[in-house]
Amino acid sequence: MDRRTFLSGMATVSTVAIVGAVAAQLARSAQPSTLHTIEITEFRFSPSALNVRKGDRVKWINLDIVPHTATALNSNWDTGELKPNESAEIVVHEGHNGPYFCAYHPMMKAGLTVN
Ligand SMILES: [Cu+2]
C-alpha cells in the first residue's frame, strides 16, 4: 500500500467512524500535501496571491528571459536567483506567511497566506 492509498484510507475511516471536531482534525492531518506552482512571466508572479497550508509545497518557475528571485519582504526566506527556466521549491511552514518580491525587480510583488 503506498502512502497516498494509506492516507486516503485513513481519511475515509476517520470520516465514517468518528463525527465532530475530532474527525475534522484527523481528516485535516491526513490530507496529502498539495503542490502549488507559481509561474514567473512578464515580470509578474502568477498567481500573485496564494492560499497554502503548512506542509504544502510551493514551486516557482521562471518563464521569463531574465533572472528573478522570490524573496520574503522580511528576509526570512529566499529562493535565490532563478535563471530562465529554472525553478525552486519550498515546503510551507508558518514563516512563509506574508508578502514577497523579486530582489532584482522590487515592483514584482506577491504573497503567500499560510493557513
Ligand atoms: Cu525579477
Ligand 1 centroid from CA 103, angstroms: 6
Ligand 1 centroid from CA 8, angstroms: 39
CB 47 within 8 A of CB 39: no
What would the mean pLDDT of 44-51 be, rounded to a whole number? 98
Ligand 1 centroid from CA 35, angstroms: 22
Ligand 1 centroid from CA 12, angstroms: 44
In this structure, what C-alpha cell is assigned to residue 19?
Answer: 463525527
* Lowest mean pLDDT segment, chosen from 12-21, 41-50, 54-63, 76-85: 12-21
Give residue 105's pLDDT. Answer: 98
Residues with CB under 5 A from ligand 1 (ion): 68, 102, 104-105
pLDDT confidence of 18, banded at 50, 70, 90?
Answer: very low
Predicted structure pTM score: 0.74
Domains annotated on the chain, with CATH: 1-32 (no CATH), 35-114 (2.60.40.420)
Give residue 31's pLDDT. Answer: 73
Q: Centre a 10 Å sphere on the Cβ of residue 102 and count the other Cβ atoms it contains.
A: 25
